[in-house]
Amino acid sequence: MNPSVIANTGVSETGASLLSIQREMASVFAEIADLFGNPSSLGAIYGLLFASPEPLSMEEIVERLGISTGTASQGLRRLAEMQAILPKKEDGERVTRYEAKLELRPFVAMFLEQQLLPKIGHSAERIETLKQKLSSIPKDSREELGIRMERASKWHRRAKTFLPLVRKFLGG
């Protein structure tokens, strides 16, 4: 009668249903992580913890998601670094358990600050450098290209002022 056939690792009857919700939540967050250029396992782990009232150990995460210990270990580390989850070493326990922080901010911030801003900054630099090379090309092209690169620079400036705003808005 239990519809879930997979990896019933000592979880109670009703637990199976909770597990299916947790797996679905993991899958939803996996998609989102992927959308933002993160490994989907990151999202899956976060999603599972998000849908877990009780903190989970790495072993439980590995079990419930069917991922490898390596992936879980690295994923947990990155999530902790980006402050999306909270590791809790309980008193006399051997294991570390993790719980999801429920704010969106860490996710968004991590993406904006670690991915977007640096890369935008980097390409802005490259364009500045290019502007200087312009002097060495024929006059006709030079003028038009100068205009275009100025335009590209403008985009970058706008993005740089705008992104922190996004962060503020979504971060609350």
Taking CA 103 as the corner, what is the angle to CA 98 and CA 63, rounded to the nearest 5 degrees?
30
Q: What is the DSSP string of the chain?
A: -----S---S--HHHHHHHHHHHHHHHHHHHHHHHTTS-HHHHHHHHHHHT-SS-EEHHHHHHHHT--HHHHHHHHHHHHHTTSEEEEE-TT-SSEEEEE---SHHHHHHIIIIIIHHHHHHHHHHHHHHHHHGGGS-HHHHHHHHHHHHHHHHHHHHHHHHHHHHHHHHH-
Q: Which of residues 66-105 bind a copy of itself (CB under 8 A)?
A: 102, 104
Is 68 among the residues that bind DNA (CB under 7 A)?
yes
Q: In whole angstroms, what is the distance from residue 93 CA to residue 34 CA? A: 34
Complex with a copy of itself: residue 37 or 70, whichever CB lies closer: 37
Instruction: Tell me if 46 contacts a copy of itself by CB under 8 A.
Output: no
- Give the separation between CA 115 and CA 156, rounded to whole angstroms: 15
66 binds, among a copy of itself, DNA, none (CB under 5 to 8 A by kind): DNA
- Contact call for residue 3 and a copy of itself (CB under 8 A): no
Q: Under the criterion CB under 8 A, does residue 119 sit at the interface with a copy of itself?
A: yes
Interaction between residue 58 and DNA (CB under 7 A): yes
Residues in the interface with DNA (CB under 7 A) total 25
* Of the candidate residues 6, 73, 77, 170, the single one contacting a copy of itself (CB under 8 A): 170
Choose from DNA, a copy of itself, none: what does 137 bind? Cβ within 5-8 Å by kind. a copy of itself
Q: Which residues bind DNA (CB under 7 A)?
A: 37-42, 57-59, 66-77, 92, 94-96
Q: Which residues bind a copy of itself (CB under 8 A)?
A: 14, 17-18, 20-21, 24-25, 27-28, 31-32, 35, 37, 50-51, 53, 102, 104, 115-116, 119, 122-123, 126-127, 130, 133-134, 136-138, 140-141, 144-145, 148-149, 151-152, 155, 158-159, 162, 166, 169-170
